Amino acid sequence: MTVNRVGLVVHGGRAEAVAAARAVRAWCAEHAVGCADIDVWQEGARHSAREEMDSAGDPDLVVTLGGDGTFLRGARLAAENDALVLGVDLGRVGFLTEVPATAVRAALDAVREERIDVESRMLLTLRASCRLEVPAQMEALLRYGRGPMLPPPRVRTECEVGGDWGVALNVTALNDVVVEKLARDRQVSVAVYLAGRLLACYSADALLVATPTGSTAYSFAAGGPVVSPRAEGLVFTPVAPHMVFNRSVVAAPDEPVALRVLERSGQAAVSIDGQLRGVLSPGDWIGVYAAPRRLKAVRLGPTDFYGRLRERMNLTDAPAALADGQAAPLWPVRTPPPEDLAHLALPPGPG
Ligand SMILES: NC(=O)c1ccc[n+]([C@@H]2O[C@H](COP(=O)([O-])OP(=O)(O)OC[C@H]3O[C@@H](n4cnc5c(N)ncnc54)[C@H](O)[C@@H]3O)[C@@H](O)[C@H]2O)c1
Ligand SMILES: Nc1ncnc2c1ncn2[C@@H]1O[C@H](COP(=O)(O)OP(=O)(O)OP(=O)(O)O)[C@@H](O)[C@H]1O
């Protein structure tokens, strides 16, 4: 895997991330690999993923130095170019990031020497009844948020658009697409369709569609299931629905989840991976589906997703269970697994 150019996305508000960026630039200089900073927070306007990647000289590896938010911003850029993304963990939770800051040079060596795995993760994209835009007066309110907004998503010209099938928008979500109430005091009323069939009409604070990766983010906070990132599917989760049916539904990877704002509902905001991208008025709809494109994430070894879940989410054991005994490993890993277990995902065996 030849890496000719690295794009750096840095959490500029964190000194350790700024120091780690210096280490990446030094490594690139030593190995004659081009390196460009991608300043997604540039003063003034933010740019489309295409523009960011063009001005960084089309990197084939995006390195993020920060937390999960920084990784999500880097993933959006990497997906645009089918580039690899490597997350260096300099955040508060670090659920998505792969390597500690102390291992950044070793990680870059591993990429260069092709001692890595590339994990393919599902991304979501969408079609909408109209182009997504944020009204100009809302920009002023966003100064209470995280700085400048992304430009409106462009229409995917490579797709057939219009007619009953709506406008294909160039958005990719690694975590989730969220439709949420815009006014604090007015829930949204939304009809939800799975695989083209009406599931139910919801009145709720928000409705979200998550990937398996995003199942541990907002969907998890709203009571949704934890889904292995190796599984395929779309998780629909309502947030505070005022109705009896409040469960998540997990759709198959080829089943779209569509959300239509009902006639007398309040307006709704659309967020993609936590970033506000548009406003829906009554009658508007979005259809969310698995993108043909996937994220290519650098892995330095087998991912211990459940270990990370236990550790990063501070999962605690039942007090009575702790009093009743210690959890020993389920199966010994000192010998190769018997034939009937050989096809299963188990911790690495000897050697
Ligand atoms: N109530 C909530 O939990 C809530 C509300 C809004 C948005 N979000 C999530 O925040 C995400 C954007 O992240 P951000 O860091 O830019 O904003 P943020 O700083 O508001 O992040 C929320 C938290 O979620 C963590 N996180 C992000 N992605 C994760 C994942 N896939 N698995 C586990 N934890 C994850 C982050 O580390 C952070 O602690 C959105 O995609 C959405 O899922 C969560
Ligand atoms: N290059 C930069 N210049 C200025 N501000 C920056 C830069 N990079 C990041 N920031 C600031 O840091 C914030 C990033 O916050 P965010 O919560 O997304 O971080 P994170 O990567 O998820 O880490 P954490 O896990 O600590 O939240 C941005 O809102 C922005 O204000």
Does residue 351 have a pLDDT over 70? no
Its CATH class, for the domain covering 5-116+300-309, is: alpha beta
Question: Residue of the nearest CA to atom 8 in ligand 1?
Answer: 218
pLDDT, tens digit (0-9, with 9 covering 90-100), for 134-153: 888 887 776 666 677 888 99
Atom of ligand 2 nearest to the CA of 39: 1
Q: How far is the CA of 220 from the centre of ligand 1 (A)?
A: 10
- Which of 113, 148, 135 has the alpha carbon at shortest distance from 39? 148
Domain map (residue ranges) of the chain: 5-116+300-309, 123-293
Q: How far is the CA of 38 from the centre of ligand 2 (A)?
A: 13
The topology (CATH level 3) of 123-293 is: Tumour Suppressor Smad4 (2.60.200)
Q: How far is the CA of 127 from the centre of ligand 2 (A)?
A: 29
Does residue 267 have a pLDDT over 70? yes
Pocket of ligand 1 (CB under 6 A): 67-69, 72, 91-93, 95-96, 175-176, 213-214, 216-218, 221, 273-274
- Cβ(91) – ligand 2 distance below 6 Å: yes
Distance from C-alpha of 16 to C-alpha of 213, rounded to nearest angstrom: 26
Least confident of 127-136, 145-154, 266-275, 300-309: 145-154
**How does strand 84-89 pair with strand 285-299?**
parallel
Distance from C-alpha of 9 to C-alpha of 67, rounded to nearest angstrom: 11
pLDDT, tens digit (0-9, with 9 covering 90-100), for 56-97: 999 999 999 999 999 999 999 999 999 999 999 999 999 999
Cβ proximity of 82 and 49 under 8 Å = no
Report the chain's mean pLDDT, rounded to a whole number: 93
State the sign of the Cα–Cα–Cα–Cα dihedral 267, 287, 67, 231: positive
Atom of ligand 1 nearest to the CA of 146: 16
- Cβ(293) – ligand 2 distance below 6 Å: no
Does the annotation flag 69 for ligand binding?
Answer: yes
Does the annotation flag 68 for ligand binding?
Answer: yes
